[in-house]
A and B are shown apart, each in its own frame.
Chain A
Amino acid sequence: MERREQFTSRWALLLATVGMAIGAGNIWRFPRLAGQYGGAFLIPWIIFLFLWSIPLLVAEFAIGRKTRRGVLASFGELGGRRMIWMGGFVTLCTTAIMFYYSVVTGWALRYFFVTAAGGLSQADHSLYWQNFISGYQPLIFHLIALALGSWVIYQGVVRGIERANKILLPSLLALLLIGVVRSLTLPNAAVGLEYFFGIKTEYLFDYRVWLEALSQSAWSTGAGWGLVLTYSVYMKEKEDVTLNAFITGFGNNSASIIAGLAIIPAIFSLTGTIPEAEAALRAGNDGLSFIVIPQLFSQLPFSRVFTSVFFLALFFAALSSLISMLELATRTLMDFGIKRRKALPLVALVSAIMGVPSALSYRFFKNQDWVWGLGLIISGLFFALLISKLGAGGFKKLVGRHRPFHLQLPGWSFSLIRFGIPGMAAILLFWWLYRSVGWDPEGWFNPFRAESMGTCLAQWLAVIGLLLLFNRGIAKLFVREEKQNEH
Chain B
Amino acid sequence: MSISTVLMMVVTLSLLWGGLFFFLSLARKQERLEVSEESKDNV
Contact = CB atoms under 8 A, between A and B. Distances in A.
A10 B26 CA distance: 12
Interface size class of A (residues with CB under 8 A): 20 to 34
A196 B13 CA distance: 12
A482 B33 CA distance: 37
B16 A257 contact: yes
A39 B5 contact: yes
A247 interface: yes
A403 B8 contact: no
Name the residue in A46, A193, A194, A197 with the highest tally of chain B Cβ atoms < 10 Å from its Cβ.
A197
A240 B8 CA distance: 32
Given A250-B20, A257-B16, A243 B9 contact: no
Interface in A153-194: 190, 193-194
Given A403-B34, A405-B30, A406-B30, A193 B12 contact: no
Interface string B21-42: 0011011011101100100000
Contacts of B5: 39, 193-194, 197-199
A250 B19 CA distance: 7
A46 B15 contact: yes
A194 B1 contact: yes
Contacts of B31: 10
Interface of A: 10, 14, 39, 42, 46, 190, 193-194, 196-199, 238, 240, 243, 246-247, 250-251, 253-254, 257, 403, 405-407
25 contacts: A10-B31, A39-B8, A42-B12, A46-B15, A190-B1, A193-B5, A196-B9, A197-B8, A197-B9, A198-B2, A198-B5, A240-B27, A240-B30, A243-B23, A247-B20, A247-B24, A250-B20, A253-B16, A254-B16, A254-B17, A254-B20, A257-B17, A403-B33, A405-B29, A407-B26
Interface of B: 1-2, 4-6, 8-9, 12-13, 15-17, 19-20, 23-24, 26-27, 29-31, 33-34, 37
